[in-house]
Structure formats: C-alpha cells, structure tokens
Chain A
Amino acid sequence: MRWRIIALETHDACFNMAADHAISEAVSSGSSDPTIRFYKWHPSAVSIGCFQSMNDEVDVQRCREAGVDYVRRRTGGGAVFHDEGGEITYSVIAPESDMPKGIIESYRLICGWIVDSLAAIGIAASFAPINDIVVDGKKISGNAQTRRDGVLVQHGTVLYNTDLKRMFSLLKVDNAKLSDKAIKSVEERVTKVLDYAQISQEELYAALLSGFTKGKDFHMGKLGDEEIARANALSKEIYSSEAWNFSR
C-alpha cells in the first residue's frame, strides 16, 4: 500500500470535515491513494460527535460571539475544542481491507503511531481504549473513527497547548457551570505536549510526520482538484448547514 501524505495545512472547520469526507469518497472509488493528512483549524472551532446534540454540548451563542466555528463530525466520540494555536489534528483514510478489522485493534494501530511520535520527543504515552491516548493517566489525544463505503476514516487531535479555560467557556459541561472546580476536574484529566516537552509546534509536527510515515511506502501529495471541488461542495451543502449541525 502506498500512502499519500498531505502536509500540515490550515482550513476552517467545515472545509476540514469536508476534506476528510471528500478524500474518503476518492479512496473508496480508487481515484486517490490511502491518505494521511495533518491539519489545523482557523478560526478555532468546536467539533461534536455525530451522535451528540449541538445545543446540549456547545454554547453556540458564545461561539458566534467569539468567532469560533462549530461543526458536527461524521465520526462518533465527544466534543472537541480545536484551539487554532493549541493542537494538531490528523486524519487517516484507507480501505478497510488494508486496516485491522476490529475497531479497537484499528484504533490501537493508528494511535500507536501517535504514541511512537510522542516517544520520539520524550513523552511516554500509551493507548487507552476505546479511543484515547494518555500520559500519566491524563488524556493528551482523542480520536474518532468511522467506516463507510469500505473506507476507514480516523481523525484525532494531539493537544499541544490548548487553552482549557477558553474551552470551558465554549463547551457546556455536564452538571457544572464554569466553576473552578469543574476546570480543575478536567485539568486533572487532560494534559498537553507542553506540559512534558518544551518543543515548538513545528517540532511536534515533525515528530508526528515521522511517526505516521515510519516504515511506510509514501509520497508527499496534496488534495486533487476534484477532491477540492467535492470538499467545497460538501462544506457548503452539509458541514455548514444548520440541518446537519443541529440534526440532534
């Protein structure tokens, strides 16, 4: 299997989700190679899992006032704050037939690439099923996967320097408002690269690129013209639509 690697790029939330969708269609039809993509979000955004309620999880009004995007993913999992300066997101998009059949095993494989990347910068992380990566028991990476039309799509985020207080101002916290206690509770469960390694975000990206490509046959590529056109259409028709984002 020859992988296409799309180097770190920055887009808005709707395009980022639409790009992963468009690539999965292209991989399904055989017109694109299996793809590993790295990306960031501008503006910052909140994404929610496909089974979550936008209004239950996100302070939509506050997002609008703060200029923060919000989008529903095609994948399950929880709400994530994509701080534009504070994290790196990846996606792995490949035929199911080339990946482990078991859900947990496929998470373990891909999350292993992140664990290896973090080890290279001196962070001892481990996979914590179902879909997390932890350091000292604290979450440093969340991941989510879908399988459609014979293609596995897994995307996830590696926390570099996420602003937890800002995150709390945008996400609705179960059974709690914006209390110090609630923040402390999450701060005790979440960590970030900068807590363990004084490296730049560029160095983190370099480590991820190395960890994800190690031992693979790959080429550096970019989105094709048809993928970009399809992603723009999906961004407009689905990911920026109220019907999709507020469907639950």
Chain B
Amino acid sequence: MEGIAKQKVPGGKLLIIKVSFGDSIESVRILGDFFVYPESAVQEIETSLKGVDSKASEVSIAELVGSVAVRCNAEMVGVTPEAIAQTLRKAIG
C-alpha cells in the first residue's frame, strides 16, 4: 500500500511523508522545505525506517528517528523527530 501525509510543523516548515508499506514499512520519502545538517542524515533516517512494523507507535518511531539523528550528529531546523513520526503514522493510517 501507499500513503502520503503532510503537515506544517508548528513553528517550522512543511513536511511531507510518502510511504510504501505492508506489514512493515518498505520505503519512506521525507520531503519538504525544512533544513537538516548534514543533509545526508535524512537518507539515513529513511533507510532506518525500512522494515519497521507498520503498526509501530508514534513514540517508538520518534525514538528511532531521534536516535539516527543523534548518531548522524544532525541538527534539524523546521522539523523534528516527533513531527516525522506523527506524519508517518498519519500516512500509514
């Protein structure tokens, strides 16, 4: 299945999530006009979400995204791990 969701992050930027999923997440695209330094962290986050249970909670997804961001020493501006998790959950439905 395919899903898409978007939100204007409060105090931040537009975030769009496109996801392909079955029982688990097959692929995720994190799109928008936000900033992440280094930019490569976004791809790392997308890769880390592959295989995650499609029913995973918003909190657990946010923790995963946040841990990847920390590992990449990433600074997120206009977007947050929580916003990514929330929008991904909405995209999956």
Contact = CB atoms under 8 A, between A and B. Distances in A.
Contacts of A50: 39
A103 B38 CA distance: 12
Nearest to A142: B33
A236 interface: no
A78 B33 contact: yes
Contacts, number: 56
A104 B31 CA distance: 21
A125 to B, nearest CB: 21
A103 B75 contact: yes
Given A56-B16, A130-B12, A77 B35 contact: yes
If over half of B's interface residues share one DSSP class (helix, strand or loop), that class is named, otherwise mixed; here it is: strand
B78 interface: yes
Interface string B10-43: 0011101000000000000111111111110010
A248 B35 contact: no
A52 B35 CA distance: 11
A103 B35 contact: yes
Contacts of A75: 35
Contacts of B30: 51
A85 interface: no
Contact of A248 (B6, B13, B29): B29
Interface string A4-42: 000000000000000000000000000000000000000
Given A52-B32, A147-B37, A248-B31, 7 more contacts: A51-B31, A51-B32, A76-B33, A78-B14, A78-B33, A103-B77, A148-B38
